[in-house]
Amino acid sequence: MEYRIEHDSLGEMKVPADRLWGAQTQRSLENFPIGDDRMPIEIIRAFAVLKKAAAMANRDLGKLDERRCALISQVCDEILSGALDREFPLSVWQTGSGTQTNMNVNEVIANRGNAIAGETLLHPNDTVNMSQSSNDTFPTAMHVAALASVQGTLVPAIEACIAVLRRLEEENADVIKIGRTHLQDATPLRFSQEISGWRGMLENTKEEIGRSCAFLSALALGGTAVGTGLNAPEGFSSLSARYISQLTGLAFESAPNKFHALTSKDGLVFSHGAIKALAVCMMKIANDVRWLASGPRCGIGEITIPENEPGSSIMPGKVNPTQCESVTMVAVQVMANDTAIGIAASQGNFELNVFMPVLIRNYLHSVRLMGDSIRSFTARCLSGLKANRERMRENLDRSLMLVTCLSPRIGYENAAKAARLAYLEGMTLREAVLRLELLSEEDFDELVRPENMV
């Protein structure tokens, strides 16, 4: 491999000749050979947006000339296109402020820009990092990446799932089935009502996630090292936020309290809490679906779901609810991510939190997993869900909890006696009521109508 010599404040470093990064990136590569978790590409894209916005703000404020601003913008556009992805190799497990990733981006922009210009016009620190610090750029990139991922990936997946659930409600509005509480028979309900409960969960969590996004819109950029804004010109923070909004199509604003923005990560904690709530809801929905689809002969069997692949290497013909299982595993991972995020956010010492890479890695991991799993579950499971109407009717007719509608007429204790007798003797509820002479046949048939109980 051929190398070139780059230098930083600590001295010279050998860097692969065909790479655009510089000495600080190379030091990080050599000092943190830990795992295979690379800084999420969403963070790199967010850095490209903020570096372009910062250059435009510095230009408008008379700090940067038009040519250098244009060069920085051109390279940032290349980064956003994915053309330079291999130039960002750093591990998540680096400095807790994300300084090395900030410098990785600065070095790549400077070296690529200088190559385009054919002369040295950009310096990683003096030009690309002008009016900035890693301590305000990394938290800014976190918020930009988080909000863009939620709005661009997660929310559309939730909305598509809600749409399928609405269709299923309409298709099953006339289906009455037995309800279940404590995993025991309960009173009847419409299958569409059961589905509406699933839909309501997703609608609520979508709203909760939407509310949390307001706390992601506040940007730390302009606070520089400790929140005082040292070396940033007046107006830089608000102007940069305005450009970031234009470049992303999302609403961002300069955080009013930069000291809070640098050291506290409560906005991301709150937002991920809403994502965890979504994971909790998806766990419940997936479990309901696989319970209701259990069988096909010896389970509940009240619904059928698509048969996507063989389920056993030893039992021929077995098909398992694999999409449900995938969703529940993702939910467990998101809950675990939430724990890591909460602990990481609690570690803000004085003017800076130094657990930021692991925090945003887990946040973006959750968004990606939830978005992907909901899309897959919707397309490969919910979209093909069908009610087994015959089995639902059979279970409904056999249920002893239909006796509940008799309580106002014969009293709770007599109703309980009838249900108990039917259970012990293996008879129908109708037969038990008639044996106890609690009602006539005509009265029983008039009172026990499941369609009037929903």
Residues 24 and 28: their CA atoms lie apart, in Å, by 6
Q: Which two tokens stand for residue 39?
A: 């800084």
By the 8 A CB rule, do 55 and 244 touch?
no
In terms of Cα–Cα distance, which of 132, 347, 152, 92 is closest to 219?
132
Residues 356 and 51: their CA atoms lie apart, in Å, by 19
- Give the CA dihedral 118, 121, 124, 125, nearest 10 degrees: 170
Distances (CA, A) of 157 to 195, 258, 272, 375: 18, 33, 16, 6
In terms of Cα–Cα distance, which of 342, 100, 139, 145 is closest to 225?
139
Residues 55 and 126: their CA atoms lie apart, in Å, by 12
Residues 81 and 79: their CA atoms lie apart, in Å, by 5
Q: Return the residue matching tokens 């997936």.
A: 286
Q: Return the residue matching tokens 């040292």.
A: 230
- Parallel, antiparallel or unpaired: strands 218-219 and 253-254: parallel
In terms of Cα–Cα distance, which of 273, 49, 223, 233 is closest to 142?
49
Residues 89 and 21: their CA atoms lie apart, in Å, by 10
> Catalytic amino acids?
182, 312
Residues 104 and 273: their CA atoms lie apart, in Å, by 31
DSSP string, 215-265: GTSEE-TT-TTTSS-TT--TTHHHHHHHHHHHHHTS--EE-S-HHHHHH--
Q: Is 155 helix (H, G, I), strand (E, B) or coil?
A: helix
